[in-house]
Structure 1
């Protein structure tokens, strides 16, 4: 692989209003923030990335500034590969993480840069990213609908089912009775063949989570995501796993070696890292390979813009296994101005883009009215 020498690293922060607020256990999304990253090498090749910024909305501008600051450390230097750049930048910023306490924002900015560099290299090689990572030939991947609100979720899910979706994830954590009612309504409406999962975003304690898994046992959910706090004692996670016939899932709030521990243990059967939240392509490709090799499901977490979903898709296509791609069906210009009509859903699956790199580039003109940093002019 030809060394990478960057000439510039740019960041663009956006916030897109939403017509219908999106509710999760920890808060409500009233707009959709996201940060795009553009890197250009000394030969004029370009790559695009995205840094996690979906909560709180004001965090987008902060991440964008971090990306530009970190990019100054990279310009003009040679790196053997994107992985080399990721490792070197991560090592350089270890003391800054301690100094600021900003573990998440710094990891997210690094991830955005890493995705962009991988996109650049794949475009330079004339290959789709999944074929740069793996020799697998894959045309489609399965998807599941995410972001389903607790207000009559069966209606939203049924509409998506009519559009061709076959798998669905309900946001739970709004109270035992409400959550059980909603899952039962979804199963009754969608039928026995539908794949149904739920995500409580760490809201339960062990007693509550145990009562919940027993109440939904007959619904045959494919997984229960983040039922208790990620940092709960390992004994709590093991007790819940022993009590639950529903597989447990998690990973969006893990980093680095934490994934090795999760993959090696018996508690989580579904591993869900977020490519924009930690690791970018470099870190997540290792997690994906180890997950599949361990016989577990690699299901990348996603709730962002268009670059994020394409990066997640390319990783899943390269990794293989029995995983599904998280797929946001709420209107979002931040996704649509990148993906366009690339990902039509047919019988629960979407095509894997075969163009170079991630398979698409952002339409900056379509996004111009939503840009919050750095403002033009």
Structure 2
């Protein structure tokens, strides 16, 4: 079961990419055998435009860009010169610390620009006021917040969903979810009961739980929890449950390999961030040493970093976080590079705001999407309405909203209770 699952993941991604590009198996094989051709192909992918905006013949001048705040909730509102409007809800856990970067380093650059040129503007704002010095969550979360509002605006103007703006085909109108759990600090016995409770609530057919101690240099939290919990999860849920484990960079390579071998014995389906996220060579070392697929990329801020991880096969599964990595456009380029190498994309998503909705729209357009996607629960504090989706997990699947932009309507009174954030 272990090796078959890994081979299936890789085969399914290759097949999806073949359908998306028309490449034959022989052509793919030649490219994969020749390092120079691989690099050329990856660079072509990075140069290709993502957004599909052929319907928009006239400029979409961004007349106003506002960041609105109510407590720790942040909304971005973009209005065009012609009066069209797009809204987004930020990653509020991060934005409450980062909003000055949005107001002072991002907002001024984009006012008066044509929203149709978003992809080229991404390169320009990176250099504006030396913003590249801020590369990481500090810059990418505020930028993603703006991008999602712009995609909502462009979607309303074109009549397309966010996903349809990213590609010609909607591959996944429904998203099968995995239930993410985090009970570090509790014993294995306490953890397994809580994991089961949340999995049953969503009827998810896949789950992910935490191992190790989070960037802890091999310390477990509490001691002995990981080695007790790995078999418990498999025994509790049985052979059909898809199980992922996330160490959040807890281990040195030697310990990561040892823990990975335990997971192999219980037929786990992927192993996330076995070593610290910026240990590229060590990630590759672990990936080569274990049979379980290795996933990562949640913390990766650099497109060139992802290019290396993908080209060198340091990761079996790529996990850009569409907030942490600066939006759907950048993340789609990562997904396409991964597809070229026969790897699935299973994006990470943070738990606050409307991240789960943005993730679903992104995944809907990813040909090589993994079979299950992260779910941490619906945000019941943000009132909204969707005529095309219950926005609930039914049989472990969530329907992606259709309709223009985000496909949901935020309660106007809720938006009106927010105040404009000044510079």
What TM-score do you get using the length of structure 2 for normalisation? 0.74
More helix by share: 2
SS in 1 for 2:67: strand
Separation in 2 of the partners of 1:134 and 1:113? Answer: 20
Deviation at 1:195, TM superposition (A): 0.9
Change (3 A) 1:179 1:13: farther
SS in 2 for 1:196: strand
Matched, 1:66 2:122: no
Change (3 A) 1:14 1:155: farther
SS in 2 for 1:242: helix
Separation in 2 of the partners of 1:249 and 1:339? Answer: 34
Separation in 1 of the partners of 2:183 and 2:135? Answer: 30
Q: Residue 119 of structure 1 contacts residue 357 of structure 1 at CA under 8 Å; is this kept in 2?
A: yes
1:155 corresponding residue in structure 2: 193
Matches within 5 A, 1:134-213: 134-137=167-170, 138-150=172-184, 151=186, 152-163=190-201, 164-174=203-213, 175=220, 177-213=224-260
Matches within 5 A, 1:261-340: 261-323=308-370, 324-329=372-377, 332-334=379-381, 336-338=382-384
1:5 corresponding residue in structure 2: 61
2:33 corresponding residue in structure 1: none
Deviation at 1:199, TM superposition (A): 1.0
1:27 corresponding residue in structure 2: none
Separation in 2 of the partners of 1:122 and 1:116? Answer: 10
Deviation at 1:73, TM superposition (A): 2.1
Q: Residue 52 of structure 1 contacts residue 277 of structure 1 at CA under 8 Å; is this kept in 2?
A: no
Q: Residue 3 of structure 1 contacts residue 78 of structure 1 at CA under 8 Å; is this kept in 2?
A: yes
Q: Residue 144 of structure 1 contacts residue 168 of structure 1 at CA under 8 Å; is this kept in 2?
A: yes
Comparing 131-140 with 246-255, greater Cα deviation is found at 131-140
Deviation at 1:162, TM superposition (A): 2.7
Q: Residue 37 of structure 1 contacts residue 67 of structure 1 at CA under 8 Å; is this kept in 2?
A: no
Change (3 A) 1:68 1:312: same
Q: Residue 89 of structure 2 contacts residue 145 of structure 2 at CA under 8 Å; is this kept in 1?
A: yes
Deviation at 1:353, TM superposition (A): 0.9
Matches within 5 A, 1:33-182: 35-54=74-93, 59-69=94-104, 70-93=106-129, 95-98=130-133, 101=134, 103-137=136-170, 138-150=172-184, 151=186, 152-163=190-201, 164-174=203-213, 175=220, 177-182=224-229
User: CA offsets per residue over residues 174-193 of structure 1, 9 Å max, x none?
Assistant: 31620122222221111111
SS in 1 for 2:208: strand
Deviation at 1:79, TM superposition (A): 4.4
Change (3 A) 1:161 1:109: closer
Separation in 2 of the partners of 1:209 and 1:14? Answer: 43
Separation in 2 of the partners of 1:125 and 1:322? Answer: 25
Coordinate RMSD, CA, aligned: 2.6
Separation in 2 of the partners of 1:266 and 1:256? Answer: 15
SS in 1 for 2:61: strand
Tell me the number of residue pairs that the alignment of Structure 1 and Structure 2 aligns. 347
Separation in 2 of the partners of 1:367 and 1:244? Answer: 49
Comparing 287-296 with 119-128, greater Cα deviation is found at 287-296
Deviation at 1:262, TM superposition (A): 1.6
Change (3 A) 1:204 1:373: farther
Unaligned runs of at least 5 residues, structure 2: 1-55, 214-219
